[in-house]
């Protein structure tokens, strides 16, 4: 496997808007092949209850575009005032030309989870959104682009009626698809992951753990980590009449800790 190529694909698959080629037809076979690749994505309990609605008829594309533009207008009006940013300009362009994009692909999944708990909601969306992302990667590898959109879901029922979808179906994401203009894409600006990654508990940075002498390959709960630090301090603290770190004292204390830890583990008292 060519890791450099894979990394390039993963880091340069963008939401494409202004660079969508609105005049070049997209072959149905390409869409079908990319969907075949997409369904290798994870599916909760291997249910595979996904459905894909490919929209190419101009009247249907126009109908969905009108719903998208209504939702986009409300979204845009709720944003901060000021000069138009490049991202806003790109979004404005897509909304204006939504109906001109040659193919729209709607990713859906069987079931409704609006009133369900977090596990059911995560299970449903976690079983369809990875397929949508895999679809975008497959498109990118073939010279096509797509934009990740969900704004039309403000009018989900109207979209379902337009397309004849059953009420038991959940719409997840709508991807406008076309060949892209130009040669390549660049990495997006992102917050460094080190600023958003916690190790072995919320807010704990790996560098901080390493600085405390904890093995970065060990996964300790916060309770166990705190106990480990307390034990280390106790082992190295002096007893009356003995120097700090006295070899005999240290070995004696280690033996005591091993006995205590064995009792804790046998009786299921560990943190």
Nearest to 10 by CA among 22, 1, 19: 1
- What's the rounded mean pLDDT across residues 186-191? 92
Q: What is the pTM for the complete model shown?
A: 0.77
Query: What's the whole-number mean pLDDT along residues 178-204?
Result: 94
Averaged pLDDT for residues 163-188: 96
Q: What secondary structure does DSSP assign to 123-144, as a single string? A: HHHTTTHHHHHHHHHHHHHTTE
Task: State the average pLDDT over residues 173-185.
Answer: 96
pLDDT on residue 245: 43
| pLDDT at residue number 269 | 57
Question: What band does 210 get if pLDDT is binned at 50, 70 and 90?
Answer: confident
> Strand, coil or helix: what is 264?
helix
Place of tokens 């583990």: 265
Give the model's pLDDT for residue 49.
Answer: 97
Q: pLDDT per residue over 103-162, tens digit each?
A: 999 999 999 999 999 999 999 999 999 999 999 999 999 999 999 999 999 999 999 999
Q: Is 92 exposed, middle or buried (0-12, 13-18, 19+ CB in 10 A)?
A: middle
Q: What is the set of domains in the chain, with CATH numbers?
A: 3-179 (3.40.109.10), 198-266 (no CATH)
- pLDDT attached to residue 80: 85
pLDDT at 209: 77
> Of 36-45, 94-103, 201-210, 229-238, which range is least confident?
229-238
Q: What is the mean pLDDT of the chain?
A: 86
Q: In this model, does residue 40 exceed pLDDT 70?
A: yes
Average pLDDT in the 161-188 region? Answer: 96
CB–CB of 34/108 below 8 Å? Answer: no
> For residue range 232-263, what is the model confidence (pLDDT) as tens digits?
555 455 544 444 444 445 455 555 656 655 55
Strand order in the sheet with 50-55: 50-55, 103-110, 169-179, 144-146
Residue 241: the pLDDT is: 45
């Amino acid at each position: 496997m060519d890791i450099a190529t894979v990394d390039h694909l993963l880091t340069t698959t963008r939401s494409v808007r202004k660079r969508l080629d609105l005049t070049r037809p997209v072959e149905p076979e390409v869409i079908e092949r990319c969907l075949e690749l997409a369904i290798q994505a994870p599916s909760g309990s291997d249910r595979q209850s996904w459905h894909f609605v490919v929209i190419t008829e101009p009247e249907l594309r126009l109908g969905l575009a009108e719903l998208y533009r209504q939702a986009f207008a409300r979204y845009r009006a709720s944003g901060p005032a000021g000069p138009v940013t490049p991202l806003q300009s790109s979004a404005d362009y897509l909304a204006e030309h939504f109906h001109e994009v040659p193919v729209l692909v709607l990713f859906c999944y069987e079931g409704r989870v609006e009133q369900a708990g977090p596990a059911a909601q995560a299970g449903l969306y976690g079983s369809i959104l990875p397929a949508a992302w895999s679809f975008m990667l497959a498109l990118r590898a073939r010279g096509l682009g797509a934009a990740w959109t969900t704004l039309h879901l403000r009018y989900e029922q109207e979209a379902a009626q337009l397309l004849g979808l059953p009420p038991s179906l959940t719409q997840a994401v709508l991807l406008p698809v076309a060949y892209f203009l130009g040669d390549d894409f660049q990495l997006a600006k992102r917050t460094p992951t080190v600023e958003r990654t916690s190790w072995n508990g919320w807010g704990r940075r790996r560098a901080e753990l390493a600085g405390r002498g904890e093995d970065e390959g060990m996964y300790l709960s916060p309770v166990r980590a705190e106990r480990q630090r307390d034990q280390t301090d106790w082992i190295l603290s002096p007893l009356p009449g003995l120097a700090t770190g006295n070899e005999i004292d240290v070995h004696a204390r280690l033996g005591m800790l091993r006995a205590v830890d064995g009792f804790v583990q046998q009786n299921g008292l560990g943190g």
